[in-house]
Amino acid sequence: MLFGVLYHAMPLGHDRPLFTVVDYLSSHFRMGGFFAISGFLTGVIASRRDRHAWVQMRLARLIPPLVTGILITVPSMALLARGAGQGFALTGPTLFQWFHLWFLLALIVYLPVASWLAFGPACDRFCEIFIRLGRAAGSLQLAVISALSLACFALLTIGAELTAAIPYADATVLKTLPLILCYAPIYALGILFGRNRAFCRECLAPRWSLCGAILVLVAVDLILGRLAAFDGSPARIVIDGFARAALPLAGSFLILRSAIGMREVPGWVARLSEASMTIYIVHLPLVVALQHFTRELQLDPYSRYAFVVLTAGLLSFAFHNLAVRRSATLRLLFNGQIRNVGALAARPSHTA
């Protein structure tokens, strides 16, 4: 989530190597890892709660931060646009500048399917299907990645077609529909991992072939992107679409395995993790304001970028520690934390 600050702080029309790397990592790996980890934690929590308590907790966790983010972002961007005048650049109408929070909307949309998958026999049935595919393919990891990569690609394509067919979709939250559909299988797989640890361990077992496949796909995607002969061609469009669908899934395996394998979380990482939602909600207006008011300074693009990232990050982090952490109301509004979370009905875990 914090990688989003690095992404949003990039200048428009960038062509520097560092910005290209940040852009590629964000669009091809960042959100895949987020939805995999989010799904995994959702599955783990579901194994310890009854359905009613789990749904209540998910709604409290998602809806207040989304509403808070919209109420902060839209007015602040409107005020910045009005105060800065013509030199202030936005990617669209100020009313629609909250789309960086689309992942919260996606998690709300996923909730009915997540509830069905996390409770009852559906989880075990899907795990059995993947295990059978793995036996046929000779590798459970290969079977899961192959099947879900195709699913992500198909959903991404369907989402793009639907968005293109809807008038004015680019001016509404419907512009994020391809992403919402594409990441749904990754989130669902995370839930399976969280509910069935044996299945998770087998899928996430170290495989050098996975790293090799990721490197090959990245190389092909980047090489075709550099060749003018393939610019706009059907082959280029298919490869780019498949890379945007498959790389987040494959990368999420490596990210999730690393996260699960951490034996001890350093204190500074825990503090950043605790503040991550607050930072993400408040950082965008800060980033845009800092970019605008430093545009006249004679700074190298990298120096300006570092200044914007550090300043926006530190201010957001300070706001969390000085205000959000000290108020139960603010913790609910910015982080979706409820006081009686420990009183929610619990149940014993029965998965391996």
Residue 88 vs residue 6, higher pLDDT: 6
Q: CA of 150: how far to CAs of 153, 182, 241, 244, in Å?
A: 5, 10, 11, 11
Backbone angles phi, psi at 48, to 5 degrees: -115, 5
Q: Which residues share a beta bridge with 117?
A: none
15: amino acid identity, one letter: D
Q: How confident is the model at residue 90 (pLDDT cuts 50, 70, 90)?
A: low
Q: CA of 263: how far to CAs of 164, 196, 271, 338, in Å?
A: 46, 20, 17, 27
Place of tokens 């950082």: 283
Q: Dump pLDDT digits (tens) for 181-200.
A: 999 999 999 999 999 999 99
Angle of the 301-319 helix axis to the 267-293 helix axis, nearest 10:
120
Q: Dump pLDDT digits (tens) for 56-66.
A: 999 999 999 99
Domain ranges of the chain: 3-343
Backbone angles phi, psi at 346, to 5 degrees: -110, 160
Mention every residue, 6+ apart, whose C-beta is less than 8 A from residue 340. Answer: none
Q: Which residues share a beta bridge with 143?
A: none
* pLDDT reported for residue 153: 93
Q: How confident is the model at residue 98 (pLDDT cuts 50, 70, 90)?
A: confident
Note if the pTM is more than 0.75: yes
How far apart, in whole angstroms, are the C-alpha atoms of residue 301 and residue 306? 9
Q: DSSP per residue over 17-80, as a string?
A: HHHHHHHHHIIIIIHHHHHHHHHHHHHHHHTTB-HHHHHHHHHHHHHHHHHHHHHHHHHHHHHH
Place of tokens 């899961």: 144
